[in-house]
Amino acid sequence: MLQIGYIRENRDHVIERLRVRNFAAVELVDEVIALDEQRRQLQTESDALAAEANAAARQIGDLMRQGKREEAEAIKAKASGYKDQQKKLADALAAAELQLHEKLVLLPNLPHQSVPKGMGAEDNEVVLEHGHRSELPEDALPHWDLAARYDIIDFELGTKVTGAGFPVYKGKGAKLQRAMINFFLDQAEKAGYREVQPPILINGASGFGTGQLPDKEGQMYHVGIDDLYLIPTAEVPVTNLYRDTIVKESDFPIKLTAYTPCFRREAGSYGAHVRGLNRLHQFDKVEVVQIVHPEKSYKVLEEMSVYVQSLLRALNLPYRVLRLCGGDMGFTSALTYDMEVWSAAQKRWLEVSSVSNFEAYQSNRLKVRFKGGGGKMQPAHTLNGSALALPRILAAILEDNQTEKGIRIPEVLVPYTGFEWID
């Protein structure tokens, strides 16, 4: 959440950065400033009235001690309306604060200065490309056909049990999933991340804290009777572990990793581009989260990007890194890098990771703070990244490593799978 003081003091800059996002409702900025002015005025009136009431109370007390009862009663009669006036002002102030909050949470984060302008994915900036795109024979199969041939993923069985987008992994397919999860967690531990196992159901406060609510209700599964949500990513419960926490500056950087299943409704997702593992409603992912000093967050973002790339290099998958344009960024992000792997059979890029710096946007909502120089309380910066999301990684591994003999398992995963081939 943006801080109202910053918006008030930097109105033109805020509007300019929101336009980089193609954020249509820039009039919200002036509405927020006007509501804040109303709130501040009401607060001033409330403070002044409270001061008058306190002064009158002291004067009445002094007069009573001096035995000047009549004078005291006269002032008491004059001050009798203070209580009603204070209640009216308190009610008006609470209403103004609520209205301001409701408008303020509709404003997305401000894009970093390096974020390119653009409307959508076609305007994202390619930062680098690594590896050679595999050249497969003409009869090479996409991963959904390979899954059927080797009986390792059953999409139809998942549809019967739950619905489309809920595959069943079988045999070596299930073992390969487990192998990737363990490999990613072990690599994260080596990189200094502490593993946690968080809940996969969250309450509304957690969804608000990381920015999924009120922006993404339609993308999350809601358990109505308990008013809980299935997590769209481990970012949500892991970051919320520090909600309403004052951390020590000496504890930075706080580095956490978690494996969880993830659940996304992905309403309106149809067509060939979502076939097979390309887009699912339930999938597995290992997440990395950092909470850091504001002065270090962009250095940490680059380090996290390099770390995710190291996983793709270890798997020997060709990939590219994109800097997302304003129109393709998430609501809470200030700067996001997407990592995409090349699908040799589908002949297109598949996103497998997003690494984002949220600056203070999430921590303002979460109230994750620390005492900086001079003992002043300030918000920390939060970052997270997929390291990695499994479905499209699995798709690329199956397609890139298909041979006449079968599917070769990447060397780094063999100690985890216990086998070298799917055949």
Is there a binding annotation on residue 357? no
Backbone angles phi, psi at 360, to 5 degrees: -100, 5
Q: In sequence order, which ranges of 126-203 are alpha helices (DSSP H)?
A: 143-149, 155-161, 172-190
Cα distance between residue 421 and residue 149, in whole Å = 14
Is there a binding annotation on residue 266? yes
Instruction: Give the type of residue at 280.
Output: L
Is there a binding annotation on residue 313? no
Q: What is the CA radius of gyration of the chain?
A: 28
Is there a binding annotation on residue 287? yes
Burial class (CB in 10 A: 0-12, 13-18, 19+), 386: buried
Sign of CA dihedral 14, 16, 20, 26: positive
Instruction: Give the type of residue at 18.
Output: L
The percent helix, strand, coil of the chain (3-state, each to 5) is 45, 20, 35
Is there a binding annotation on residue 114? no
Is there a binding annotation on residue 115? no
Beta bridge partners of 194: 256
Q: Which of 338, 337, 362, 364 is nearest to 349 (CA)?
A: 338
Is there a binding annotation on residue 265? yes
The H helix count followed by the E strand count for the chain is 14, 18
Is there a binding annotation on residue 354? yes
Burial class (CB in 10 A: 0-12, 13-18, 19+), 300: buried
Spatial contact of 387 and 307, defined as CB atoms under 8 Å apart: yes
Cα distance between residue 290 and residue 381, in whole Å = 8
The continuous run of DSSP H or E covering 48 comes out as helix 27-65
In sequence order, which residues have a C-beta less than 8 Å from that of residue 231 and are 6 or more positions away?
199, 200, 201, 202, 237, 260, 262, 263
Q: How far is CA 194 from the centre of its chain?
A: 19
In sequence order, which residues have a C-beta less than 8 Å from that of residue 188 and are 6 or more positions away?
195, 257, 286, 288, 387
Is there a binding annotation on residue 286? no
In the block, tokens 């097979």 appear at 276
Backbone angles phi, psi at 392, to 5 degrees: -75, -25
Which tokens go with 319?
Answer: 């990939």
Cα distance between residue 107 and residue 335, in whole Å = 16
Is there a binding annotation on residue 39? no
Binding site, annotated residues for L-serine: 233, 264, 287, 384
Residues placed in the known binding site: 233, 264-266, 287, 351-354, 384
Q: Which residues are annotated as a binding site for ATP?
A: 264-266, 351-354
